[in-house]
Structure 1
Amino acid sequence: MTTEESLRPQSLMLTFLGEQVLGRAVCVYSGSVIDVFARAGVGEQATRSTLTRMVGRGLLRRQREGRRMYFGLTEHSEAVLRDGEHRVWQTGAVNRHWDGTWTLLGFSLPESWQRQRHDLRSKLTWSGFGPLFGGLWIAPGEVDVSALVAELGLSAHVKVFRAHADTGTDIGAMIEETWELTELAHRYEDFVRHWQPWLTRSPHPDDALAHRLLLQTEWLRIIRRDPRLPVEHLPGDWPAERAEKTFRSVHGALTPLAEEAAAHLIDLVPARDHPDAPGA
């Protein structure tokens, strides 16, 4: 499966909005989105459906200007994009500053609560946790899960602790037993194989914009699935650092051309009723 086929249109949309709209108090013309997405391998119908669904989910708002429809961010989508921006450009893929702290989360749910158990496990996985034992999950560092637990209505069934491993604990072995390191390493290695050749290519600016969109969406998808385990307890040839270097280098190479394309492909208008809009 190619990169273009495996990325969800909503993920691409969020990346696009983060690049073109976030922090600018503007809305983007739907036709501009359709044009850029077509260059990224997403058809017009899929793009229009994604815009409609994201409005329904509170991730986008519509703004009509004459006969044209523009789309802007909501408070919810801005929070999602700020988190992604932080993960990509500040947190990074390699955890070099771990202080030895672990977050332990224990839960006990009735046998009949299969859906609640599935939802909790899914959200814990996305928050960097792994199953130490059946109902006891662990994540490196101090992870605040209060909002996650409250959202699921499970506060009475979950207990959270901060801990340090005993001196005799083999942390490396524990990590290998708790997280799928091989699968994660393969994701990083595949990323490098796919994107490193772009360091020697000179695409058309319009194509550079689409490829930068694909690059950043794929990178964010990988690092969101990475629990950021302490690097000192990972295999010596751990590929995350090489993948991150590839991401930053290709992103830097594509950006001048991508910005050139954005200047003539993307139609933006000031967002009305936005906190950062002039006169708001």
Structure 2
Amino acid sequence: MKPRSLMFTLFGEYIQYYGDEIWVGSLIRMMKRFGVSESSVRGAILRMVQKDLMTVRKIGNRSYYSYTSPALKQIDEGVKRVYNQRNTSWDGKWRILTYSFPEAKRDMRNEIRKELSWTGFGPISHSTWVSPNPIEDQVLEMMEYYQLQDYMTLFASSQVLSHDDQTIVNKGWDLQAISEEYERFIETYSEKFDQLQRKALQNTLTDEESFIERTKLVHEYRKFLFQDPSFPDELLPENWLGNKARELFWKIHQMLSISAIRFFESLYEAAPDREVEAHREKAINPFDKVYL
């Protein structure tokens, strides 16, 4: 687990519900549970501060860190996609984005491709990306934020004259490869669920183990945000394994949540000059709906 990625997971899962800020000592204690050394934590924080992803407040000899607005926005979008109800119905429209960047902006082009993939777009040609999801506002906001209006154009269309919808899906995404990843996740975590459930029933599941396993679970499941475009049912194969993986994720998450939050609270220290309003219930159950 890379330090920077793990910190995103910890902020999205826990810290955001406790004031969006953490003492570096608490963060070091948490990340030590995943084999991350103090020097690695401090190095990752320094790089993020330099990239304007994190900001620091000093109180005496203690440093308290929080994410900047752009990073918090990315964390919030990730959390919503993990825990919010998936859009199951399709309005029949394709969102089509085309771009043309001069060579001088090659680095920006590469960053935008990553952003589009994260958002759920798929490339059907070198500079044409599509999505069936209603994400126009998100894309327009991205264009405005990066000042890309001169290089990108966004369309929405209910008709693709040259290809049927399934062909478009096959051109932009490898659903078979994504399904195989879900299959591996299900195989691994079905066994993990049985092990943890036995421990819970025997009263041998500790708060620390719950914290570690819940964090690892989310960290692993979060990788699907970069792979699965979260299609409406109409465009998915029958018995899509993503649904089964999500149900399994929910069951394990909820089994571990109360004791995981209890252990987090034992390590977390708020800044002395801030009265933190903890949203403990939301930290325990961030799902917008229950999946059974």
Q: TM-score range by the shorter chain?
A: 0.7 to 0.9
Per-residue deviation at 1:165? 3.0
Per-residue deviation at 1:151? 4.6
RMSD: 2.8
What corresponds to 1:137 in structure 2?
Answer: 129
Per-residue deviation at 1:99? 1.2
Between the aligned residues of both structures, percent identity stands at 27
Q: Is the 8 A contact 1:172 1:234 kept in 2?
A: no
What corresponds to 1:68 in structure 2?
Answer: 62
SS in structure 2 at match of 1:104: strand
Q: Is the 8 A contact 1:27 1:63 kept in 2?
A: no
Q: What is the aligned length?
A: 268
Which whole-Å deviations, capped at 9, do the CAs of 1:46-83 have from their partners, x for residues lacking one?
22212222222333322334433222343333322222
Q: 1:168 to 1:255 in 2, by over 3 A?
A: same
What corresponds to 2:287 in structure 1?
Answer: none
What corresponds to 1:3 in structure 2?
Answer: none
The equivalent position to 1:237 in structure 2, one of 236, 239, 245, is 239
Q: Is the 8 A contact 1:62 1:69 kept in 2?
A: yes
What corresponds to 1:122 in structure 2?
Answer: 114
Map 1:200-219; keep pairs closer than 5 Å.
200=194, 201=196, 202=199, 203-219=205-221
Task: Point out where structure 2 has 5 or more consecutive residues left out of the alignment.
Answer: 200-204, 279-292
Q: 1:9 to 1:99 in 2, by over 3 A?
A: same
Structure 2 length normalisation: TM-score? 0.79
Cα separation, 1, equivalents of 2:153 and 2:268: 48
Cα separation, 1, equivalents of 2:114 and 2:75: 20
The equivalent position to 2:256 in structure 1, one of 254, 257, 280, is 254
What corresponds to 2:202 in structure 1?
Answer: none
Q: Which moved more, 1:172-181 or 1:72-81?
A: 72-81
Q: Is the 8 A contact 2:99 2:128 kept in 1?
A: yes
SS in structure 1 at match of 2:18: coil
Q: Which moved more, 1:180-189 or 1:166-175?
A: 166-175
Q: Is the 8 A contact 1:12 1:217 kept in 2?
A: yes
Map 1:22-37; keep pairs closer than 5 Å.
22-25=16-19, 27-37=21-31
Task: Point out where structure 1 has 5 or more consecutive residues left out of the alignment.
Answer: 1-6
The equivalent position to 1:56 in structure 2, one of 50, 58, 62, is 50
Letter in structure 2 aligned against 1:162: A
SS in structure 1 at match of 2:264: helix
SS in structure 2 at match of 1:191: helix
Which whole-Å deviations, capped at 9, do the CAs of 1:185-240 have from their partners, x for residues lacking one?
22222222222223231342112212211211222221243212222222213210
Map 1:32-111; keep pairs closer than 5 Å.
32-92=26-86, 95-110=87-102
Q: 1:270 to 1:103 in 2, by over 3 A?
A: farther
Per-residue deviation at 1:26? 5.9
Cα separation, 2, equivalents of 1:155 and 1:257: 48
Cα separation, 1, equivalents of 2:127 and 2:61: 55
Cα separation, 2, equivalents of 1:194 and 1:9: 23
SS in structure 1 at match of 2:157: strand
